Structure 1
Amino acid sequence: MKYHITETASFAAGILSQYSTGTVHSVYRKTINLHLGPALVALQAASSPLSPVSLITDLQAPEMEALSIQPEDPVSTDGQSITIHSHGTRIIFNLSDALVFDSFLPDQAVPVDTSAVKEAICLSGSGGFSELFSPEPQKDSSDFGKEAFLAVAGKRLEDARHLAASSCYEESSTSLAGLIGLGIGLTPSGDDFLCGFLAGLRFAGQWEHPFARLLRKEISQHLGDTNDISRTFLSCALQGHFSRPVKELPCPDSRKILSSFSQIGHSSGIDTLCGIFYASCFFAAFS
């Protein structure tokens, strides 16, 4: 069976150029995660949002789901194609003609319309971190897990900003990095938020700020506190690689922002957007 990869990201292309063998890590309805070396890359259905590790295929979601691929199936790649060896069958994804999206976000001050971002967050109604930035958060007294999550996350954000404002950068970075692994889902909300915050540092041109350096070190040391998939995205962010919606963010249209970020997971995109918004407020408080 032969299929095509139509688009990928520069980060994923770099992984494919370094490793020739691996295994299938996990299989979901629209995604097949491949383990190559220490990294993951993701074969995804057509029209999926492009992340730094994406390999967008020409298959629709039902076709992806129908493939007889299982975790631990052997994988090989020669730079022109990816082959999955499953139950005596070779499933080949040709990538020789794939478009390559530059997932690297430069570290330079790029104006982000915080009003449009805030409006997109408020319009999302996605739950997660959006409730901390919306004037009228959703109320559900029966959901104690959500209430506890919001209380912990809110306290960490408040502490981090106050500590940074007093130049207590090490303590501030420790508080913020404590979000790693917080929340539920394929990628916990705390991890998505931190990916957004790291993008916000680059948008603000603050990547080498003393606080930013300490935060990156703290996150790097605690990557083991979350799952493999979420750890992959945090590792990408630490290296300056982000999804297409993040790179295309400098946009004044809140509806377009909402549409773009809402395509990423159940709430992952909006949680990431919240991290970007918080970063802009964070540095405005003491810069």
Structure 2
Amino acid sequence: MKKIQGVSYSNDFLETTFSGTIHSVFERTFNIETETNKLMTVATHPIFDGPQMIKINETSMKYLPLEIGMAVSHVGKRLLIADVLEIDCEEAKVMEELPLVFSKEKALEIKRHTTIINNYLEINLDTVGFYRKTFPNDVEEVMHRFLMNGKETLESAFEKDDSSLLEVGVSSLLGLGHGLTPSGDDFLTGFLLVLNSQTDTNREFTGLLNQLVQENCRKTNAVSQNQLKLAIDKRALKPVQQFLYDLYRGSSMLTLNKRVEEILRIGSSSGSDMLAGILSAIRLY
């Protein structure tokens, strides 16, 4: 059995005993589906920190004897994959997790900063998702129009306190777009993170949003489902979490611009699409 060292882990990864199977394997990560249908991620060291994650001292998963469907068990601070691999986290560090609480006192400053950020993204970005400006074909242009229509419907639902519109907005965005986490899901992720970190907005309507996402998220893939459920719990990859934490504290534009650049390195357009959702939700405040 090959033994490797864990470098760090999120505080929820090893807090309970679980078992499961390998759900998916990529070059720098592999996912474990637990018996309770959670997705836990094992990532190589360069990957951003995040919830439900262990990071290991490897540069690629392609050198490890991993196959989809292999049995996984968690014993103490060790993760056992079939009879081929053991990950030892005895010396690993616990990842820092930042609390997200929207500051009502800093609301005007937060809105001013996010307006500046959105203007910058609108001018300078041309990505696959929400900030797209050029289209290689008609299909991509139609896809972008659907994304923008879903965004506008969701915003209108909150502005009008209209539950029917909310259902249409959520349904139209879930699973819409390309990639491992489609653009519509990434937008909803950012939107959910903000709405759930506010304590004095329409909590009943936010609760309905959460319910609709949870009830309908099977329209998209398991990785996106997991990401959306974590967003409801105000949890995300470290760059996104750090950006919101700094934004809510009233940090300088210099700091926020640095955080934005970090987020933009997530996926091909996942980072920018999450930012689109974050900025959309803050504009509604």
**Equivalent residues in 2 for 1:44-193 (5 A)?**
44-61=43-60, 64-85=61-82, 89-103=83-97, 105-109=99-103, 111=106, 112=110, 113-119=113-119, 121-122=121-122, 123-131=124-132, 138-140=133-135, 142-168=136-162, 170-178=163-171, 179-193=173-187
CA, structure 1 residues 216+20, in 2 after alignment: closer, same or farther (shift >3 Å)?
closer
Contact 2:196 2:233 in 1 (8 A): no
Residue aligning to 2:216: 222
Contact 1:160 1:171 in 2 (8 A): no
- Provide the C-alpha distance between the structure 2 equivalents of 1:84 and 1:22, rounded to a whole number of angstroms: 10
- Tell me the C-alpha RMSD between the 2 structures: 2.2
- Provide the C-alpha distance between the structure 2 equivalents of 1:164 and 1:186, rounded to a whole number of angstroms: 28
CA, structure 1 residues 206+48, in 2 after alignment: closer, same or farther (shift >3 Å)?
farther
Contact 1:81 1:92 in 2 (8 A): yes
Which moves more between the two structures, 234-243 or 224-233?
234-243
Given the alignment of the two structures, is residue 29 of structure 1 paired with residue 51 of structure 2, yes or no? no
- Provide the C-alpha distance between the structure 2 equivalents of 1:176 and 1:102, rounded to a whole number of angstroms: 34
Residue aligning to 2:6: 5
1:29, CA displacement in angstroms? 0.7
1:104, CA displacement in angstroms? 6.0
1:265, CA displacement in angstroms? 1.4
Residue aligning to 1:201: 195
SS for the counterpart of 1:184 is: coil
Moved over 6 A (4+): none
SS for the counterpart of 1:10 is: coil
Supply the AA of the counterpart residue of 2:65: S
Contact 1:161 1:172 in 2 (8 A): no
Please give the per-residue CA displacement for 1:22-77, whole angstroms capped at 9, x wherever unaligned.
Answer: 1111111111111122111111111101222221111113xx21112000111111
Tell me the matched-pair count. 267
SS for the counterpart of 1:65 is: coil
TM-score, L = length of structure 2: 0.85
Please give the per-residue CA displacement for 1:93-144, whole angstroms capped at 9, x wherever unaligned.
Answer: 111222223446434327543035315534343230123xxxxxx222x422
Residue aligning to 2:260: 258
CA, structure 1 residues 121+226, in 2 after alignment: closer, same or farther (shift >3 Å)?
same
SS for the counterpart of 2:141 is: helix
- Provide the C-alpha distance between the structure 1 equivalents of 2:239 and 2:200, rounded to a whole number of angstroms: 20
Supply the AA of the counterpart residue of 1:270: S
Residue aligning to 1:20: 18
SS for the counterpart of 2:235 is: coil
SS for the counterpart of 1:22 is: strand
Residue aligning to 1:134: none
Which moves more between the two structures, 113-122 or 91-100?
113-122
TM-score, L = length of structure 1: 0.84
SS for the counterpart of 1:97 is: coil
Residue aligning to 2:227: 233
CA, structure 1 residues 94+75, in 2 after alignment: closer, same or farther (shift >3 Å)?
same
Contact 1:180 1:223 in 2 (8 A): yes
SS for the counterpart of 1:66 is: coil
SS for the counterpart of 1:60 is: coil
SS for the counterpart of 1:2 is: strand
- Structure 1 segments unaligned to the other structure (5+ residues): 132-137
